[in-house]
Amino acid sequence: MTSISPCLWFDDQLEEAAAFYTSIFPNSSVGHLARYPDVGPGEPGTVMAGEFTLDGTTFRAINGGPMFTFSEAVSFSISCRDQAEVDHYWDALVAGGQESQCGWLKDRFGLSWQIVPTRLHELLSDPDPTRANAAQQAMLGMQRIVIADLEAAADAAAAA
């Protein structure tokens, strides 16, 4: 059976990143970490490659050096059922990283994440285009998505 897994390229923080991510997501664990032997090419005992599982999804990773870095061209999207879940993932992942806009952030390793409440998709798909547009405009002005503010914008537009 064919399977597809993301493979992440870290400079030398794979082990730290795996511990960080698995502490945030439920049903997560660090799998096998292959270490450099005494003959190199890396520092003996340091992690060369490995894998970790985040809520059932396996990620492979390597410590490949500084020549490649993450960009927003690839991100991981987390669908959240409520504001508490949005806040949990936002606060945990942005720690040491940086906020962006529209629910995007970069974690401390430079990896981009989208923290998106399912309610946003519902509002953007509202059959009333006035409500959908108002929700989209509200989202465009946010960093962290705040569901109550999206709903308030949609309701105010519908009432106008």
53 beta partners? 29, 58
pLDDT tens across 111-120, in order? 999 999 999 9
Domain residues of the chain, as ranges? 1-68, 70-160
Topology, domain 1-68: 2,3-Dihydroxybiphenyl 1,2-Dioxygenase; domain 1 (3.10.180)
The closest alpha carbon to 65, from 34, 87, 42, belongs to 42
How much is the pTM? 0.93
Q: Which residue type, as a one-letter code, is found at position 140? A: L
| Nearest alpha carbon to residue 116 among 76, 57, 58, 71 | 76
Beta bridge partners of 63: 10
- Number of neighbours of residue 149 by Cβ within 10 angstroms: 14
Q: Tens digit of pLDDT for each residue in 45-78?
A: 999 999 999 999 999 999 999 999 999 999 999 9
For the structural domain made of 70-160, what CATH number should be given?
3.10.180.10
